[in-house]
Amino acid sequence: MARESESGLPVEPVYGPGDLAGWDPTEKLGEPGGYPFTRGVYPSMYTGRPWTMRQYAGFGTAVESNARYQQLIAHGTTGLSVAFDLPTQMGHDSDAPLAHGEVGKVGVAIDSLDDMRVLFQGIPLDKVSTSMTINAPAALLLLLYQLVAEEQGVAADKLTGTIQNDVLKEYIARGTYIFPPSPSLRLIADIFRYCRAEIPKWNTISISGYHMAEAGASPAQEIAFTLADGIEYVRTAVAAGMDVDDFAPRLSFFFVARTTLLEEVAKFRAARRIWARVMKEEFAAQNPKSLMLRFHTQTAGVQLTAQQPEVNLVRVAVQGLAAVLGGTQSLHTNSFDEAIALPTDKSARLALRTQQVLAYETDVTATVDPFAGSYAVERMTDGVEAAALTLMARVEDLGGAVAAIERGFQKEEIERNAYRIAQETDSGERVVVGVNRFLTDVEEPYEPLRVDPAIEAQQAERLARLRAERDQGAVDAALAELKEAARGAENVLYPMKTALKARATVGEVCGALREVWGTYVPSDAF
């Protein structure tokens, strides 16, 4: 009897040649590293070298997070990935009333250049690739990173990494927005221009489906709404006068990897194919790199369970394998204890070891796109692609991603799917090991990592000292220049960098922009 995939598509018990009748492998597959990139964006993929092992980490103070980064590098991490706390993500200083109780909880607290300097102390920024999960204030954190590099004597053209910088998905699924959509898109276009001129190797945006998946999106919804957001960003930059091939090669994406391995592989292959076609046909991109959908993957935090948490080690291994078989460029594997608390040193090390086993003990790196030609996977790839294109057409019918967001379309679709998943889990139709089947009478005790609540007071003291020591006149002048640029058409990153170098805080810089651009209030907030 046929089952349904996570996207609600039929999964047949047996596939054969008849399922690919009329199927043209030249059109659908191409060669690895060639259009339409179904088989991967590079000809050799992992046969040359494995993916970047990028472990997402950050908590408490910059001192504590720096120590964790040093440990990860020592254990073999090849790329850093910075988690910021909620006040930083929302553009508030640690001593702001709205930050109370959240400082350092889900990531590291960064209030100023002083904190950023400590965060990367002893880490040569010309030798590591750094990803920063930051959206509305992405420009600020990138500039702080550049300023620290300058202090290290590292030229900006040597810096490599990514800022997430994907604010549209914040309106859809995550909620860490600051400004309304229009100025947010203007800020993103300014970042594209700035990085092309100043930090040419930096990936200026990581267009993210991960958080939509965490909110309940199906695989087809995840890639449909993510690619629709990507189209909106490209249109914004082109409308601002940029040539598509000047910025498109630096676009990147961020997806989840679930335990449904076959459909996840199909999802990644379908996403590459759709994006290549869009960039070629709608935007007439000429540079082959503009057609490549390069992406980072994180294993599915939403599928981790607090019950029998060690079982999460198995889930993460399967999810990581799905990402690798799907052709990811970099990967974060979750720690088994993340459903309970921040990961401990041991659990973070085990998560990294999972990737290393996949890379060095299995044979998945021996050949490119091992599932190519599989009756099942090729049929699933076509099915996910067709479902995603249908959803993307509905977004277009509503006027594009921003207009659809304002109508609440993506959010409603995701919530409907999340409700379906919850119903299936509650009824037992969807099995979750250790939660609704294969239970144990007694859970083994587990001691989670806890963040010291004194961190908030410590950060407040650092801010008070900073404000007492700095040249307040220089800060005020720089913030006034920033506001003037925000009112006009000048690239705001240049005066923003001046303000941050003068030791203006993240909250002060975001506050200056709030005065000009306002803040976003969702339509369902009334």
The span from the CA of 346 to the CA of 16, in Å, is 45
374-396 mean pLDDT: 97
Which residues on neighbouring strands pair with residue 161, listed in sequence order?
Answer: 130, 202
pLDDT recorded at residue 133? 94
Please write down the long-range contacts of 214-217, taking CB distance under 8 Å and 24 or more positions apart.
Answer: 214/173, 214/256, 214/300, 214/301, 214/302, 215/172, 215/173, 215/174, 215/414, 215/415, 215/418, 216/414, 216/415, 216/417, 216/418, 216/419, 216/421, 217/173, 217/413, 217/414, 217/417, 217/418
Count of other CB atoms within 10 angstroms of residue 292 = 24
- Take residue 314 and report the two structure tokens written for it: 């198995």
Q: Rounded CA gap, 517 and 526, in Å?
A: 21
The kind and range of the H/E element at 53 are strand 52-57
435-455 per-position pLDDT tens digit: 999 998 877 777 777 778 899
In residues, how long is the chain? Answer: 526
Confidence check: pLDDT of 166 > 70: yes
Query: Is residue 81 within a helix (H) or strand (E), and if so which, with residue range?
Result: strand 79-83
Q: What is the 3-state secondary structure (H, E, C) of 143-162?
A: HHHHHHHHHHCCCHHHCEEE
> Which DSSP state fits 525?
G
Phi, psi of 480 (to 5 degrees): -65, -40
Give the pLDDT band of residue 495 (cuts 50, 70, 90). very high
Q: What's the whole-number mean pLDDT along residues 75-88?
A: 91
How far apart (Å, rounded) are the C-alpha atoms in residues 503 and 498? 9
- Segment 201-208 shows an average pLDDT of 96
pLDDT score for 22: 85
Say yes or no to pLDDT of 79 above 90: no
Residue 2 has what pLDDT? 67
Among the ranges given (30-34, 345-349, 471-475), the one the predictor scored with the smallest mean pLDDT: 345-349
Q: Where in 295-441 does DSSP place strands (E)?
A: 295-299, 330-332
Per the CB < 8 A criterion, the answer to whether 276 and 293 are in contact is: yes
User: DSSP 3-state assignment of 433?
Assistant: strand
The mean pLDDT value for 53-73 works out to 91
Rounded-to-integer distance, Cα 324 and Cα 367, Å = 12
The residue whose two tokens read 């914004």 is 236
Domains of the chain (ranges; CATH) run 42-427 (3.20.20.240)
- The alpha carbon of residue 412 and the mean position of all alpha carbons in its chain are separated, in whole angstroms, by 22
Evaluate if residue 94 carries a pLDDT over 50: yes
Which of 115-119, 190-194, 463-467, 521-525 has the least mean pLDDT? 521-525
178 touches 197 (CB < 8 A): no
Q: Percent of the chain, pLDDT > 70?
A: 99
The answer to whether residues 138 and 180 touch, using CB atoms and an 8 Å cutoff, is no
Whether residue 1 is predicted with pLDDT greater than 60 in this model: the reply is: no
- pLDDT for res 313: 97
Q: Which residue has the higher pLDDT, 24 or 86?
A: 86
- What is the average per-residue pLDDT within 516-520? 97
Q: What is the mean pLDDT of the chain?
A: 95
pLDDT of residue 526: 38
pLDDT, position 345: 87
Query: Is residue 299 helix, strand or coil?
Result: strand
pLDDT given for residue 447 in this prediction: 75
Question: Is 428 a residue whose pLDDT tops 90?
Answer: yes
Cβ pair 127, 161 in contact under 8 A? no
Question: How would DSSP label each residue in 130-198?
Answer: EEEE--TTHHHHHHHHHHHHHHHT--GGG-EEEE----HHIIIII----S-HHHHHHHHHHHHHHHHHH
